[in-house]
Each structure stands twice: as structure tokens, then as C-alpha cells.
Amino acid sequence: MDFDKGPLIDIHLLEPDIRLPVEDDGNGVLRGSVSITCRKSYTIQSLELLFEGFQYIIADGDRPLKGERKQIARHPVLLYPVSSNSNTDTDTASDLLLSPGTTQCTFESILPSHLPATLQCPELDIQYSLRATMHYHRITTCNATSSSKRQWLMRKRIRNTACTIPVRLIAAPSSTSLLYHNHGIDSLKQTTTWCQYRIAFEHRSITAGKTMCILLQMAPHLQGMLLEQVYIEWIERRRVSTQKTSKHLLLPIRWIQLDHYGRQHTMTPPLRLGSQPRSFRLAYQVPEHLVPSIQFHDQFAMDHHVVVSMMLSFPAVVKCKNDDSKRYMRRYTKTIRFGTDMRVIDGRQDQDARLPPYQEYGKSHGSSSNSTLIMQGPPVYTP
């Protein structure tokens, strides 16, 4: 009895994330190979790839509503049989014998244009997949005995096997986005009744899940002023078709102050400002579940607005309600806010924005590991 379950098929992508060009008429490229592993010999009739993309509009729950599922991409790629202009017999051309072992079929195909990047949020879910389907058959023989002679019967079993993997599309960084990222945000000097302050961000864009550094400088106008707390509020605005929603996230900041020697000192508010200007370097962990910003799309858009709130308290002399001649001391609380637009990028886009480390530099030139040139990203500020 034959217990062979047939060949095993698997897909290997050359790039785990497909970069989408910034140009409107640009296309992503799908590269990889299909591995076919079999224990016996088989004959392939056809081998086809199917790249699909679906868009789910989600509302009032985690399940997509009926009629809200939309196919946004369908791109078939025929790997075998290969089309040819020669006048050969179709049955002869479609025969491809696979020997026992592993056989790899490489492919490279241009994806359709104007595809949105992979996205997942409570209102919208965009997913892509790649499916490989192979139709094959194996000719087996069985013997049937009769009263006169022994006969051999040929049986042709046509079967199929398939494999599906998810594909992630991300938007490649453009020269404009790189310049936008490298320029910081500075509020300049702002003057209020209670103090002067300045808030500066190192970059105009931030990666979800990374640490964002904020520079805070304050010069109090009143004696005994305390900086009670600093909060970061993320406003995530989403537009799907005609529906507009916003989500507010109010989170505190971790405090870090650097001395003249560059050493870090963790502080806990409230902080006494004193009479001299003070400078603080604050570290903030950006939530990982923030959706990357998407602005240039006809059906949906995602943008972010960040608000820094500073809670101040200061002493003041007030009159007593029952007796105007009596005075007593109490503390008042005021909140100062500064808001700006901030672009949230995907972690894989952040890797594309940096040069790769030159780890093979020392090996190629025969130098020691001490002289190897290694380029790294900016330091991560942790308490």
C-alpha cells in the first residue's frame, strides 16, 4: 500500500517586507522561490502564484461587517508551463518530471501599482497574501491477474497542493520624508504670566515603540513654583471613507536629566524650579500600537497630533471669605500646553532610513575588529 502524501510545497520570499516606491506610477517587486520537496517522482502539470490583497472596514466589533470586504489586488503569476512561441505539442511541453529531493523555482514579478501599505487598526484592516498552487500527477502501476494472462494497469492520479503565506507591504522612505525626519520641532521661546518655556523635539517623525527625547527649558516668573507633572497626549485621527474618528491617549513621561559629564539622573516630580532657568531632557516611550501615519490616499488617512501638557503650581496670598482683613497662603495650579503634528512611521521604515552597519569592512580589508567601521543609530535614552 502506498502511504505517500505527495510533494510538499513552500514559499520563500527574498525580502520579508516588500517596499512600495514613493512615485505614483511605481510598482513593488515580488521576489522569491518556491521549494518543492518530494520522496518520489512526480510530473507537474502547472505551478501558479496568486498575490491577493483585501481591505476590511471594521465597525462595532472585531469582525468585518457583511459587504465591507473588498479585494484591492489580484495578481496571478504562472511559473509553469512557461509560455513559448515555438510550435510544440502542448502535452509534451507541459510535462515536467520532478525527481526525489528538493527542487526550487525562482520568481520575480512586478506588483500592481497604487497599492496601499499593510495596515491594521480598529477601523481598517489591509492584508496581503501569496498562494502557490501546484497541480501534479503520478503514474502508478497495479497488476490484475486473469485466467489467461497477467495484465498491468496504468492509473493517473491528478492532485493539487497549495501553500499560503502573508506578505507585508510597507512604504519606502522618500527624500522628502528623510529631510522631514531629520529636522526637529522647536516651539521657540514662549511667554506666559507664570513663566517662559521652550519645548523642542529632536525629530519631526517618531517610530512606534521607540523612545522619543524632548527638551524642556523653563524660566519661572514667580517664586516657589513647582513643576508638578508633564504629560504627553497623542491624538490619532483616522478617516475611513466618509467616517472620521479620533483617539486620545494621555500618558505620563519618564524623567531624565543629564549633568555636565553626560551622566543620567532620574527624577520624580514635583520639581522645584527655583529662580534660575532650568533645563530638562525627558524620555517618552511611544506606544507600539500607534498606526503609522498615512496622508496621501483617496479612501483613508491617518495622522497624529502630539500635545505636551505641563502642570505648574505656585503660592499666592488670598483673602479669607469671612474676613477680608485676613490673608492666608494657598497654591494655585495652572496647565500650559503645546501641540504639534507628529508623523509616526513604521519600524521597518526606520530601518530603511539608516545606513546598514559595515560589519564586513574589517574582514574584507584584513584589519582587526578594533578598526572595523560600525555605523549605529542614535542613542536610546532610558532611565
In a domain, 1, yes or no: no
Q: Are 166 and 199 found together in one domain? A: no
Q: Are 97 and 232 found together in one domain? A: no
Three-class SS state of 262: coil
**CA proximity to 8, closest of 78, 126, 103:** 103
CB neighbours (10 Å) of residue 174?
12
Handedness of CA 291, 297, 298, 301 (dihedral sign): positive
Q: Are 189 and 300 found together in one domain? A: yes
Q: Which residue has the higher pLDDT, 373 or 99?
A: 99
User: Do 237 and 123 contact (CB within 8 A), yes or no?
Assistant: no
Once rounded to an integer, what is the mean pLDDT over residues 114-137? 87
Three-class SS state of 348: helix
Q: Are 333 and 227 found together in one domain? A: yes
- Rounded CA-CA distance 342/328 in Å is 44
**CA proximity to 349, closest of 208, 183, 212:** 208
Q: What is the CATH number of the domain that holds 40?
A: 2.60.40.640
User: Do 105 and 36 contact (CB within 8 A), yes or no?
Assistant: yes
Q: Are 76 and 210 found together in one domain? A: no
pLDDT band at 285 (very low <50, low <70, confident <90, very high): confident
Helix (H) or strand (E) holding 166: strand 150-171
User: Do 245 and 217 contact (CB within 8 A), yes or no?
Assistant: no
pLDDT of 142 > 70? The answer is no
In a domain, 122, yes or no: yes
Q: Are 189 and 58 found together in one domain? A: no
- Rounded CA-CA distance 201/53 in Å is 37
Q: Are 224 and 292 found together in one domain? A: yes
- Structural domain boundaries enclosing 337: 181-345
Q: Are 207 and 301 found together in one domain? A: yes
| Percent of the chain at pLDDT exceeding 70 | 65
pLDDT of residue 297: 67
pLDDT of residue 264: 52
pLDDT of 15 > 60? The answer is yes
pLDDT of 227 > 70? The answer is yes
| Cα 346–chain centre separation | 4
Max avg pLDDT among 154-158, 238-242, 339-343, 371-375: 339-343
Q: DSSP letters along 29-94, please? A: EEEEEEEEEESS-EEEEEEEEEEEEEEEEE-SSSSEEEEEEEEEEEEEEEEESPP-SS---HHHHT
pLDDT in tens, 231-284: 888 888 877 765 666 666 555 555 555 444 445 555 556 677 777 888 888 877
In a domain, 383, yes or no: no
Q: Are 135 and 195 found together in one domain? A: no
Handedness of CA 312, 317, 320, 321 (dihedral sign): negative
pLDDT of 371 > 50? The answer is no
Residues contacting 86, CB < 8 A, separation 6+: none
Quote the cell numbers at residue 333.
Answer: 495650579
Q: DSSP letters along 192-251, please? A: -SSEEEEEEES-SEEETTSEEEEEEEEEESSTT-EEEEEEEEEEEEEEETTEEEEEEEEE
pLDDT of residue 205: 84
pLDDT of residue 131: 96
Per-residue b or e along 234-261, where b marks 16 or more CB atoms closer than 10 Å to that residue's CB? bbbebbbeeeeeeeeeeeebebbeeeee
pLDDT of residue 164: 95
Residue found under cell 514662549: 190
pLDDT of residue 351: 56
pLDDT of residue 247: 62
Once rounded to an integer, what is the mean pLDDT over residues 171-175? 68
Quote the cell numbers at residue 321.
Answer: 471669605
Q: Provide the domain count of the chain.
A: 2
In a domain, 367, yes or no: no
pLDDT in tens, 180-212: 666 788 999 899 988 999 999 988 888 888 888
- Rounded CA-CA distance 276/117 in Å is 49
Once rounded to an integer, what is the mean pLDDT over residues 172-187? 71
pLDDT of 173 > 70? The answer is no
pLDDT of 108 > 70? The answer is yes
pLDDT of 356 > 50? The answer is no
- Rounded CA-CA distance 157/174 in Å is 52
Quote the cell numbers at residue 351.
Answer: 530601518
Q: Which residue has the higher pLDDT, 219 or 155?
A: 219
Once rounded to an integer, what is the mean pLDDT over residues 107-124? 85
Whole-prediction pTM: 0.66
pLDDT band at 372 (very low <50, low <70, confident <90, very high): very low
pLDDT of 348 > 70? The answer is no
Q: Are 165 and 311 found together in one domain? A: no
In a domain, 363, yes or no: no
Residue found under cell 518556491: 34
Q: 3's torsion region: left (phi>0), alpha (psi -120 to 50) or beta?
A: alpha
Once rounded to an integer, what is the mean pLDDT over residues 203-222? 85
Q: Are 249 and 323 found together in one domain? A: yes
In a domain, 369, yes or no: no
- Rounded CA-CA distance 4/39 in Å is 8
Alpha helices in 253-346 (DSSP H): none
In a domain, 222, yes or no: yes
Q: Which residue has the higher pLDDT, 374 or 121?
A: 121
DSSP state of 324: T
- Rounded CA-CA distance 224/229 in Å is 16
The one-letter code for the residue type at 191 is T
Q: Are 117 and 46 found together in one domain? A: yes
What's the start-to-end Cα distance of the chain, in Å? 67
Once rounded to an integer, what is the mean pLDDT over residues 69-93? 71
- Rounded CA-CA distance 310/192 in Å is 13
In a domain, 351, yes or no: no
pLDDT of 73 > 70? The answer is yes
Once rounded to an integer, what is the mean pLDDT over residues 90-109? 77
